[in-house]
């Protein structure tokens, strides 16, 4: 692990000097160094190369549905990798987890060695300046998925769509949004442009759902089930379509209209 940290630090230092910023290659890590005893704990907390660790983390820390092809593929890939390292797709003993942990650490070290070698090669390349300009260009245009989440919450609230599933909406549109941002001038304001994309998605793709139901109307107006409930819902829909609002505001507007 210390070899891995050493390679990370060296790669980051070299990259930072090359592009003249503090970006380097790796973002700051707020977590403390993982504990490796027992080996299962160290395995679960290890941060290494991208795709394998992403799949292992999904498989080991989330509930997968074998009925979904995407989840099933992740499970099959991870179980095959575990079987190759310790002889079983379902490690149980500390010895089995230790073998998996050491294998993952060695793969991480190989990955970082390759990354360091690539960075050193850029340093010596005759096109270093152009490569670094392209590097910076990509850094400035990279927005991780979570950067959209707070904006989605704000935009949804502004539009009276608080019930929107933020993560699901972002997952659905993230690739499209990032492609759209890549077409803009380099000095674009992320929050302004991302808000436009989010608003467009909410307006054109998702269906606005009323913040109230027939049950709310029956309870709030003390009326029994019947046609009157449907009439009030229709009136609420017209009010909401004109100006989206919260549940309390919508019910209050219905009362003000004397319904």
> SS3 letters for the chain?
CHHHHHHHHHHHHHHHHHHCCCCCCCCCCCCCCCCCCCHHHHHHHCCCCHHHHHHHHHHHHCCCCCCCHHHHHHHHHHHHHHHHHHCCCCCCCHHHHHHHHHHHHHHHHHHHHHHHHHHHHHHHCCCHHHHHHHHHHHHHCCCCCHHHHHHHHHHHHHCCCCCCCHHHHHHHHHHHHHHHHHCCCCCCCHHHHHHHHHHHHHHHCCCCCCCCCHHHHHHHHCCCCCHHHHHHHHHHHHHHHHCCCCHHHHHHHHHHCCC
Neighbours of 15 (CB within 10 A): 22
pLDDT score of 42 more than 70? no
Last-in-domain residue among 86, 113, 139: 139
Q: Which domain holds residue 248?
A: 214-256
Cα 10 to Cα 107, 123, 125, 128, 153: the distances in Å are 18, 13, 18, 18, 39
The number of folded domains in the chain is: 3
pLDDT band at residue 23 under the 50/70/90 scheme: low
Per-residue pLDDT tens for 239-255? Answer: 888 887 778 888 888 88
Per-residue pLDDT tens for 192-214? Answer: 999 999 999 988 877 777 888 99
Per-residue pLDDT tens for 132-172? Answer: 888 888 777 888 888 999 999 999 888 877 778 888 899 99
Indicate whether 96 belongs to any domain.
Answer: yes
Tell me: do 115 and 199 sit in the same domain. Answer: no
| pTM for the whole structure | 0.51
Tell me: do 78 and 133 sit in the same domain. Answer: yes
Last-in-domain residue among 139, 168, 191: 139
pLDDT score of 11 more than 90? no
Residue 179: Cβ-neighbour burial (10 angstroms; 0-12, 13-18, 19+): exposed
Q: Taking phi first (over 0 means left), then psi (-120 to 50 degrees means alpha), and beta for anything else, what does residue 93 get? A: beta
Measure the CA–CA gap between 111 and 211, rounded to whole angstroms: 50
pLDDT score of 74 more than 70? yes
| pLDDT top residue among 190 and 67 | 190
Q: How much is the pLDDT for 98?
A: 92
Indicate whether 198 belongs to any domain.
Answer: yes
pLDDT score of 29 more than 60? no
Which range, 29-43, 104-118, 168-182, 237-251, is most confident? 168-182
Indicate whether 117 belongs to any domain.
Answer: yes
Indicate whether 209 belongs to any domain.
Answer: no
Per-residue pLDDT tens for 211-236? Answer: 889 999 999 888 999 988 999 999 99
Measure the CA–CA gap between 159 and 220, rounded to whole angstroms: 24
């Amino acid at each position: 692990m210390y070899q891995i940290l050493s390679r990370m630090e060296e790669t980051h230092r070299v990259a930072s000097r090359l592009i003249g910023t503090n970006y380097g290659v790796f973002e700051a890590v707020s977590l403390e160094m993982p504990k490796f005893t027992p080996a299962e704990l160290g395995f679960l907390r290890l941060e290494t190369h991208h795709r394998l660790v992403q799949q292992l983390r999904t498989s080991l820390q989330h509930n997968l549905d074998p009925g979904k092809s995407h989840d099933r593929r992740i499970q099959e890939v991870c179980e095959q990798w575990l079987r190759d390292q310790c002889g079983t797709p379902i490690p149980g003993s500390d010895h089995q987890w230790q073998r998996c942990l050491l294998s993952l650490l060695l793969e991480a070290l190989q990955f970082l060695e390759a990354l360091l070698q690539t960075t050193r090669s850029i340093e010596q390349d005759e096109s270093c300046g152009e490569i670094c300009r392209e590097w910076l260009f990509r850094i400035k245009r990279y927005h991780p998925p979570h950067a959209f989440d707070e904006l989605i919450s704000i935009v949804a609230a502004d539009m009276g769509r608080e019930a929107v599933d933020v993560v699901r909406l972002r997952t659905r549109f993230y690739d499209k949004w990032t492609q759209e941002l890549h077409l803009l001038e380099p000095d674009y304001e992320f929050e302004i442009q991302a808000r436009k994309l989010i608003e467009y998605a909410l307006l054109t793709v998702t269906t606005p759902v009323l913040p109230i139901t027939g049950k709310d109307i029956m309870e709030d107006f003390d009326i029994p089930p019947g046609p009157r409930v449907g009439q009030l819902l229709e009136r609420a829909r017209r009010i909401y379509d004109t100006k989206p609002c919260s549940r309390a505001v919508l019910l209050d507007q219905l009362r003000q209209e004397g319904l």
